[in-house]
Amino acid sequence: MAVRNFSEQDLVGNRFNGQNLNGSTFFKASLTNVSFVDTLLRGTNFEETKWLNVDARRADFRPSAAFPTTSFV
């Protein structure tokens, strides 16, 4: 699993379906028409993000030992 950094990016129409993004960061990113269906997002940082029409059905935001929290603050 590769941790990815999407900080301060303007993401439009991205499809992350089924990917492992555990521990990644989207700090201050803008997410428009983005899809996280069935995506692993444990411990992912979503602080100060803006979401518009984001589909996160069945995405896994649960904490784990390696990635204790997902932050939406």
CATH, residue 13: 2.160.20.80
Neighbouring-strand partners of residue 14: none
- Residue 38 resides in a domain: yes
Residue with the larger pLDDT of the pair 35 and 23: 35
What SS3 class is residue 35?
strand
- Average pLDDT estimate for 19-24: 94
Mean residue pLDDT of the chain comes to 91
What pLDDT score does 72 carry?
73
For residue 55, give its domain range. Answer: 1-67
- Residue 48 resides in a domain: yes
Q: Are 56 and 34 in contact (CB under 8 A)?
A: no
- Residue 72 resides in a domain: no
pTM score over 0.85: yes
- Residue 24 resides in a domain: yes
Beta strand 50-52 pairing with 30-32: parallel
- Residue 73 resides in a domain: no
Of 12, 18, 7, residue with least CA distance to 46: 7
Domains held by the chain: number: 1
